[in-house]
Structure 1
Amino acid sequence: MRRSMHRAGATMLGRLLSEPAAPTDRPSCGCGHRARYHDTRARQLLTMLGPVEFQRGYYLCPHCHQGQSPRDRELDVEGTGFSPGVRRMMAAVGSETSFEQGREQLELLAGLEVTSKSVERQSEAIGADIEAGDRKEIRRAKQLELPEVCTLAVPVFYIEMDGTGIPVTVKERAGRAGKTEGQPARTREVKLGCVFTQTTTDEDGRPIRDPDSTSYVAALETAEEFGLRLYTEAWRRGWSGARQKAVLGDGAVWIWNLAEQHFPGAIQIVDLYHARQHIWELAAKLFPNDERTRKRWAALCVDRLDTGKIEALVKILRQLRPDSDKLAQDVDNDADYFERNAERMRYPKFRAQGLFVGSGVVEAGCRTVVGKRLKCSGIFWTVRGANAILALRCCRLSSRFEDYGESRSRAA
């Protein structure tokens, strides 16, 4: 029944798409001259209703002898055998699962037979097109050519940043040092940022993230490039009109450098749970065979952390005298970490203002935006392919994929 309805619909669609001959039209050619009507030619497309054949005018330039069919440009099907709807369907499945599984889903759910390579090409092509649009906006932001953002001011505006590694091809990691000294890199770091807002708190004063307010940006790129990307997204979302602004992240230096550069004046908060993890990991190294002492010591340090008494916590660490040089270096590193981020760890003060003190949104994003698709077993990415899929996933998970489709229709 479905196949029969699709065939009937495809026949009707072919008639609707066919255009009458218009010999008087003289479309422009790339060489600067005008093309002339030559004849009417058939064209076949795979549409959401299946294969469709339609007729359209073909024009030839008498100067450079290049042919064209303006109808193809009007329908946004130049250089492709797939309709815009089918291309978006392939991009949607390709952004969620492997290209082969995406091919199977299209055949099962929509009755469309395509190759896994077609799913890959269309997914990456649309992702690259979205990324090109993002970069255009980033260049405008770099030149301070920012549009006016008409939006209601929100009480609190948050920005969170993090990084997570993805497997890449041997060529993409050549010459890069790995996390283990003397070992080559096996991954490249994707930088992920998320933007969301908060309007209210619950009855206990805990912050509540506004529903559907989270948007994402991500790419394999330098911190400098990523900073502009996140700044552009924050501006687009109405950063300038927020009454209160906060940046959350772990202790990575690049995060706070970007916060100082692009978001001056924002409250900076180190993720509380990441800071606690530092304490528990150090406790395991200090007291590997004494669980009771380990728990008691860690609880003391966590109490100092939770109450914002960072100077007291640093003092506890500085007074330690480990036996091994390696452990002494670990203790010094953690003491420096807490000392460097002391003002970002005044958790009682942040809680009193009804602010988030954990960067759980971006950490969840590392799993859902990046990990779910780009950390699949046996898949190794090129930078170009990874960035295309990342742009596509961020667009979809930020609820802007339909906007992209509409913009393509308007451009056509």
Structure 2
Amino acid sequence: MLTLKEPLDFDTPEWQDFYEKLQSSVSRASLVLTAWQIGLWVAKTLVEHHLNQQAQRPERWECCAACGKQLESKGFVSRRILTLAGWVEWKRRVGRCPNRCVKSHSVPFDAVLGIVAYQQTSMELMRLGCLLALFLPFELAVQLLKQLCGVCISDDTVWQWVQQFGRQAMRQLDRELEALAKGSEPSVEPLEARLDTLPLVIAADGVSVPFRPYPGSTKGKIRFREVKIALLARLKPHQTRSGKHVTRLHQRRLVAVLGNIEALQPRLHLEALRQGITTTTQVVWISDGARGFWRLFEQSFAAVAVGILDFYHATQHLWQAAEAYSQTVAGRTPQQWFQRLRHQLRQGSVHHIIKEFSHLLKYASTPDAAKPTLKRVRQYLQIHLQHLKYRQFKQLGSWIK
């Protein structure tokens, strides 16, 4: 049985420095930081000891791909890589063809560890650096990485890591999109337990984002470009301490594309399949009145999802009609009419609103300037008639307001 006394040498100058620093620590912060450094040193030592032990196992050498001769061991060669515990070094066997054929160099233990030639940084360290860079500027990510792991790297290194993983992710995405276009179902990871029993809400919208014309430079005139965004969220019921039942966001996934809705559609469809849209008991699509998004809904989600027009955008159109009609009716302000229309909409009486607008368009007392707006809003409500049944939607769950 392995004991700590075997791999750890407490007589080394490094340990003595740690011990003296630990003894001289007078504040809680310095004590914790020193203990943290000792923990990293212990982790590094244990990893090196374990790797060196594993590397001692005999290797069964393969034959040379060029001449067919069996490879021969050339002894142990050191390997060094930067990890979460700092620089880790070990020795492993290296083999080569006795005829010195080109590219016959073989290091089986590196393949077992999942590292490639000339790799100097471990994947877990690169992953942590990229995760920090998602939420922080590169300079702060580097500082935090140093505080956590004692690893000193440059912000340019983190930037290169992000670019590397980004390219890998894009290649993987392109392969999955190509397979989906050919009719193949994507490989889906198992969902979290009972996740398919929670409502899946899909919302989509577009935003304008400012871009500079020259990468890496602040010079030049800003150009706004459209970014299409979709959100896939799982909602979970929750009971507060006071006993009130509320709904909270349990999980969310974001899909964004610099381009039009046609570019967003396959990526959103792929992510929806990953999120178990085909097995989820309740799927809801929420969007404003943009025709492109509702065309996307009809093509990709109408068979499995309930389409709901965002209530805020619907009431915006009602206010436009009320404001355009102004105070034509004595004793009724636009605000008063809007409040009544909004109440009718929430209660599912959209047919009454459409009927009222139709009557107003026939009345001679209706201002000519208000008729185009009334006609446009009426058409808007007619187009989204199936998406405005808010009273019925309320029965789907308390989370629908």
Q: Shared fold (TM-score greater than 0.5)?
A: yes
Work out the CA distance in 1 between the residues paired with 2:84 and 2:268: 36
Give the aligned partner of residue 336 of structure 2. Answer: 296
Equivalent residues of 1:21, 1:40 under 8 A apart: no
Judge which range, 146-155 or 341-350, deviates more.
146-155
Give the aligned partner of residue 390 of structure 2. Answer: 347
Equivalent residues of 1:201, 1:354 under 8 A apart: no
Displacement of 1:245 after TM fit?
Answer: 3.3
Equivalent residues of 2:234, 2:249 under 8 A apart: no
- 1:144-177 Cα deviation digits (max 9, x unpaired): 33369798663754332233344444269xxxxx
- 1:8-61 Cα deviation digits (max 9, x unpaired): 432332232242485752388799998765554323222111122222344557
Name the SS of the counterpart of 2:162 in structure 1: helix
Equivalent residues of 1:192, 1:217 under 8 A apart: yes
- Counterpart check, 1:76 vs 2:114: yes
Give the aligned partner of residue 392 of structure 1. Answer: none
Work out the CA distance in 2 between the residues paired with 1:30 and 1:336: 75
Equivalent residues of 1:350, 1:356 under 8 A apart: no
Cα–Cα, structure 1 residues 90 and 29, in superposed 2: closer, same or farther, change >3 Å? farther
- Counterpart check, 1:90 vs 2:133: no
Tell me the C-alpha RMSD between the 2 structures.
Answer: 4.2
Displacement of 1:328 after TM fit?
Answer: 7.7
- 1:205-236 Cα deviation digits (max 9, x unpaired): x9965763444433435433432333333333
Q: 247, 260, 271: which is aligned to 1:233?
A: 271
Larger Rg: 2
Q: Could you tell me the percent identity over the aligned residues?
A: 20
Give the aligned partner of residue 6 of structure 1. Answer: 40
Judge which range, 255-264 or 156-165, deviates more.
156-165
Gaps of 5+ in 2: 1-33, 216-220
Name the SS of the counterpart of 2:314 in structure 1: helix
- TM-score, normalisation: structure 1: 0.66
Q: Which has the higher helix share?
A: 1
Work out the CA distance in 1 between the residues paired with 2:160 and 2:261: 28
Equivalent residues of 2:79, 2:89 under 8 A apart: yes
Displacement of 1:283 after TM fit?
Answer: 5.8
- TM-score, normalisation: structure 2: 0.68
- 1:225-279 Cα deviation digits (max 9, x unpaired): 4323333333333322344432222222222122211123332101112322344
Q: 347, 351, 366: which is aligned to 1:307?
A: 347
Q: 224, 228, 232: which is aligned to 2:262?
A: 224
Gaps of 5+ in 1: 173-182, 359-412
Work out the CA distance in 1 between the residues paired with 2:171 and 2:316: 39
Equivalent residues of 1:250, 1:270 under 8 A apart: yes
Q: Which has the higher contact order (CA 8 A, sep 6+)?
A: 1
Equivalent residues of 1:269, 1:357 under 8 A apart: no
Give the aligned partner of residue 51 of structure 2. Answer: 17
Equivalent residues of 2:213, 2:223 under 8 A apart: no
Give the aligned partner of residue 29 of structure 2. Answer: none
- 1:284-306 Cα deviation digits (max 9, x unpaired): 68769xxx934224323323322
Give the aligned partner of residue 26 of structure 2. Answer: none
